[in-house]
């Protein structure tokens, strides 16, 4: 034991003091409510029996009629589906480097740099690349990009329709987000054409929003559902990687080649009252934070051409730090609405102390495990996950879904959060009433997050999910370096 550590008995007493403090502060409103109900009951007993019975029945009838007739203003996640790539599309490290050598002949330094990135990436050899990458030489044309888009988007939608028995004619709102690939006609039009959707469907095609666009799409769907009662919305989150492959030799632009992989998710949201019974989750809150007013944040993820004219995505070396700062801004907004009162008071005291007494005091980091059972943090890369874990002070178990998703599927951009949620469900960890926090980071720089409440316990195994054929092998130990 360290010399300055308190005795065991003292530590135990402090633990129970802290638990008692949390219990009293977090339940103070409940105590007041009990007092009010008891007072009302005493007053009611003073009335004669007939008046008391008539008043009670009237209140019950009026309340029931009101809640039945009132349309639901809540947004429910009925179900979702993630694209599960075929084993024939798997990209081993040797396969990836063989393709890279064909494009970068005699560029030894660039090839060695990519090998070092792969060794430390946290990716496995089971991640998948689009069909165009499996040709010799790779085919990276517009037509091959459309083939990839149809493959991942249609597969995800087909799986969702099969799971939910949703009829295409019952889709009222369609939102597709894909950051860089933006063909004409749009990806939304491609989906409408494939499934023969109604001509009056409300459609939105979001581009250029980065890996955090999935949460923006969910927020847009929420707003639309609030304004259109008794409606169903489908959100498609994906990133088409075929046209985004960088063929140059700039190190900051080679990183996305090593990390981004094939993926997509289709999400079924609804505000219909009868869908509430079978819905998996209820949307509690969405918080969006945009830091583009800061120049470093704005340029930390940038699409541009290198000196040789090769188009690619440039990632700043300060990306993980900037992501941490954006997360702190997001926390300042979301904290008061989700944290228990005990944590909010501690945070407030810390803030006042820094302002009035000593600015060098370390700010109090709220214990978000008091508010959430599960965390889905964008699997953007090992460094990003490490930074988020440090800033939120999460355990290895809390961060497990993100690390395992990065290992098995790579960075699938905006859809990665849904692969992580599927991992938690496939492990049998999702129970009714559990709170989930999805945190997405993307270019701009943006940190967008969503809070969900589990509507029913999720049974396992989850048939047909992306983890169906491998969940028993996870979690796995991921070494810091895998020598190639």
The catalytic residues are: 211, 290, 374, 378, 407, 411
Contact (Cβ atoms closer than 8 angstroms) between residue 286 and residue 219: yes
Neighbours of 15 (CB within 10 A): 10
Tell me how many degrees the CA angle 375-83-221 measures, rounded to the nearest 5.
65
Question: Which residues are within 8 A (CB) of 38 and not within 5 positions of it... i.e. 6 or more apart?
Answer: none
Contact (Cβ atoms closer than 8 angstroms) between residue 480 and residue 124: no
Q: 219-227: long-range contacts (C-beta < 8 A, 24 or more apart)?
A: 219/286, 219/288, 219/448, 219/450, 220/175, 221/75, 221/173, 221/175, 221/269, 222/75, 222/269, 222/283, 222/286, 224/173, 225/75, 225/173, 225/269, 225/270, 225/271, 226/73, 226/75, 226/271
Q: State the angle between helix axes of 108-120 and 251-259 in degrees (0 to 180), rounded to the nearest 10.
A: 50
Q: How far apart are the first and last CA of the chain?
A: 42
Alpha-helical runs (H) found in 357-428: 382-392, 396-409, 416-426
Cα–Cα dist 136/459, whole Å: 43
Which strand (E) or helix (H) includes residue 69?
helix 49-69
Cα–Cα dist 74/52, whole Å: 34
Burial of 459 (0-12, 13-18, 19+ CB in 10 A): exposed
């Amino acid at each position: 034991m360290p010399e300055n550590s308190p005795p065991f008995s003292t530590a135990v007493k402090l633990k129970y003091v802290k638990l008692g403090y949390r219990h009293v502060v977090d339940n103070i409103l409940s105590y007041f409510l009990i007092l009010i109900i008891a007072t009302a009951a005493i007053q009611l007993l003073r009335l004669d029996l007939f008046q008391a019975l008539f008043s009670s029945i009237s209140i019950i009838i009026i309340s029931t009629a009101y809640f039945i007739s009132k349309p639901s203003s809540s947004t429910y996640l009925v179900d979702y589906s993630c694209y599960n790539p075929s084993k024939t599309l798997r990209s081993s490290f040797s396969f990836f480097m063989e393709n890279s050598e064909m494009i970068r002949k005699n560029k030894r330094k660039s090839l060695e740099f990519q090998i070092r990135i792969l060794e430390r990436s946290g990716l496995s050899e089971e991640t998948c690349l689009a069909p165009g990458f499996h040709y010799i030489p790779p085919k990276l044309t517009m037509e091959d990009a459309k083939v990839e888009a149809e493959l991942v988007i249609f597969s995800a939608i087909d799986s969702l329709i099969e799971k939910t028995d949703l009829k295409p004619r019952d889709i009222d709102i369609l939102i597709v987000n894909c950051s860089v690939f933006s063909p004409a006609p749009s990806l939304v039009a491609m989906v409408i054409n494939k499934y023969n959707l109604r001509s009056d469907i409300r459609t939105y095609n979001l581009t250029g929003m980065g890996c955090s666009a999935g949460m923006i799409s969910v927020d847009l769907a929420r707003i639309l559902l609030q304004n259109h009662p008794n409606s169903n919305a489908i959100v498609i989150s994906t990133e088409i990687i075929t046209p985004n492959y960088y063929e140059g030799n700039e190190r900051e632009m080679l990183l996305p080649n090593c990390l981004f992989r094939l993926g997509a998710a289709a999400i079924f949201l609804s505000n219909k009252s009868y869908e509430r019974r079978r819905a998996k989750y209820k949307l509690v809150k969405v918080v969006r934070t945009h830091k583009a007013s800061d120049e470093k944040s704005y340029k930390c993820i940038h699409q541009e051409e290198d000196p040789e004219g090769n188009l690619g995505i440039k990632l700043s070396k300060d990306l993980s730090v900037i992501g941490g700062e954006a997360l702190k801004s997001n926390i300042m907004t979301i904290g008061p609405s989700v944290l228990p009162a005990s944590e909010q008071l501690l945070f407030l005291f810390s803030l006042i102390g820094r302002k009035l007494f000593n600015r060098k005091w370390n700010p109090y980091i709220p214990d978000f495990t008091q508010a959430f059972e599960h965390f889905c943090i964008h699997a953007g890369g090992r460094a990003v996950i490490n930074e988020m874990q440090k800033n939120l002070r999460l355990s290895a178990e809390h961060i497990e879904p993100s690390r395992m998703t990065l290992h098995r599927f790579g960075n699938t951009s905006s859809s990665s959060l849904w692969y992580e949620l599927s991992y938690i469900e496939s492990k049998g960890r999702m129970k009714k009433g559990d709170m989930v926090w999805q945190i997405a980071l993307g270019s701009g720089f943006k940190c967008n997050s969503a809070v969900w409440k589990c509507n029913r316990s999720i049974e396992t195994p989850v048939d047909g999910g992306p983890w169906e054929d491998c969940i028993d092998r996870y979690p796995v130990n991921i070494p810091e370096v895998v020598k190639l």
